[in-house]
Amino acid sequence: MWNIDELKQGSIPEFNKFYKHFQPKVKGLIKYYGYNLTVEEVEDITQDTFTKAFRGLPKCKAETERSIFAWLGTTLRNATYDYVKKKNRKEIIENKLISVCRTDQRTEPDLVNDILNDESVDHFHNYLKQTFNGVLLYEKAILGKTNKELSEKYKFSTSSISQRILREKKRINKKGKEDLLILQK
């Protein structure tokens, strides 16, 4: 068994005991959450959980094994949620990348090379962001979808969807005013 006081002071041997004791329980909880994760993803979340736990232990107020496990469970839940959220966003961006490749008439390797080019990273990121915000605005204004439907489809909060649509409207409005100024000259 591990010593709580030494564990909170950052003792590596005590943390190794702590890790060996709780690792199977943590992996079991990750599987219990019901996300469709691979073995590698479960390992990543487990490592992330224990890394965050090691950093947070000095501030932890728990004193018993049971309360430490409850605290670790909260850390695990947050790490799992963050991982799944990041994974979902990555899949959305990858799908958008494929879509952009099809409409851009460039092959995916060419587009990836452009992304890796330092000068184009910011441009591509802004392009993707504008494209995604434009898709949201299109689906809301033209297809009549609600923010809740868009939120469920793209795995963003409804407030994030609202903000993105508002930003796109402002961008289009600003772009329209700039175009009018150019035409007047």
List the domains of the chain with CATH numbers: 4-88 (1.10.1740.10), 118-184 (no CATH)
Does the pLDDT at position 104 exceed 60?
no
From 17, 32, 18, 35, select the one nearest 69 (Cα to Cα): 18
The token duo for 100 is 């952009």
The token duo for 130 is 């504008």
- Which residues neighbour 48 within 8 Å (Cβ) at sequence distance 6 or greater? 79, 82, 83
Q: What is the pLDDT confidence band of residue 175, given thresholds at 50, 70 and 90?
A: low
pLDDT tens figures, 78-98: 888 888 887 776 666 666 655
pTM summary value? 0.49
Least confident of 42-56, 124-138, 139-153, 167-181: 124-138
pLDDT tens figures, 44-77: 999 999 999 988 888 888 888 888 889 998 999 8
**Contact between 169 and 137 (Cβ < 8 Å):** yes
Cα–Cα distances (Å) from 115 to 99, 110, 124, 129, in that order, read 15, 9, 7, 14
CA distance 126 to 57: 39
